[in-house]
Structure 1
Amino acid sequence: MSTTPTLTGQAIGQAHYATRALLERAVAPLGVSFGQVLALNVLAAGPVEPAHLVRRITSTLKVDEPAVHEVIASLVDADLAHLDEASVRLTDTGRATQARIADAAAGITTRLYGDIPADEASAAARVLTLITQRANAELAATPA
């Protein structure tokens, strides 16, 4: 007997971790971590102030600022990003690496989501966005 799946944090987490595992496997040959992938994706839009990149990654990964500074330093050490007082930007190597990451992510997205009807995908996106907003509000309202 089949039951209707229930939307829970566990179901959402399982989908997230399974998808993340596919992405991490796809980018492993590039030698980049998941945190680096996120930072490279932010930087793909153009140079950003270091503080903006830190806020963006801490809010996405729910990690502390020192962890993000380590990610930025590792990108600089690997010649994937350049850091100065005003901005963090991709190097040529970083742009090429990020393009390969984007290609890998696009392939995963097509394989996993490509045949889901648009109305169902849209409804799922709305629900997940709402859950994320609520969780972020609760995190902001309570001390760590």
Structure 2
Amino acid sequence: MTTSVPPVNGQVIGLAHYASRAALERVLARSGTTFEQSVALRAVSDNGGTAERARVAGRLTGALKIEEPAALRTVEELTALKLLEEPAPGQVSLTDGGRELFASIRTAGDEIAARVYAGIPAEDLATAGRVLALVTERAEAELPGS
């Protein structure tokens, strides 16, 4: 049986994104974590465990295309849940609980990615990465304020 390859377009890219995100959302649901919260935890973790609140909010608004008040609410939720703390004005740091939660999310996400990308040649993944980066750049140029 031959499977036809669909042309790459926004729908195909979106379907791949939503299928992958749905798999991650199942993991997040077990811990009561939202996708937005996981992105905020990653932003703090990627910055060494402490980041400026504005930088975390900027990561959420830039990556998820949400408004700044929603991004700041997400950071406040994580603080209220004691997953982030404020070591100094305008900064947030992962707590031990936040670090543990994010480590478990990262591990589960890595396991999902390993299964999803298994058997795809590295050169195909590199090509897809270059194409998607260019599509993202062009799509973001279409947004107001670009």
- Which of residues 46, 50, 55 in structure 2 aligns to 1:52? 55
TM-score of the superposed pair, with normalisation by structure 2: 0.92
- Let me know the Cα RMSD of the aligned residues: 1.4
The one of the two structures with greater contact order (alpha-carbon pairs below 8 A, sep at least 6) is 1
1:75 to 2:49 alignment: no
| 1:124 corresponds to which of 125, 128, 142 | 128
Q: Which runs of 5+ in 2 are unaligned?
A: none
Aligned length: 142
1:45-78 CA-to-partner distances (Å, cap 9, x unmatched) read 3211111111111000000001011100110111
Instruction: Report the counterpart of residue 104 of structure 2 in structure 1.
Output: 100
Give the AA of the match of 1:38: V
Structure-1 residue corresponding to 2:44:
43
Q: Which moved more, 1:80-89 or 1:130-139?
A: 80-89
SS at match of 1:48: strand
Cα displacement string for residues 26-50 of structure 1 (whole angstroms, at most 9, x for unaligned residues): 1211110000000011111321111
Q: Structure 1 stretches (4+) deviating beyond 2 angstroms? A: 1-4
Identical aligned residues as a percent:
41
- Kindly state the Cα deviation for residue 20 of structure 1 after the two structures are TM-superposed: 0.4
Q: TM-score scaled to structure 1, two decimals?
A: 0.93
* 1:86–1:69 Cα change, 3 Å: closer
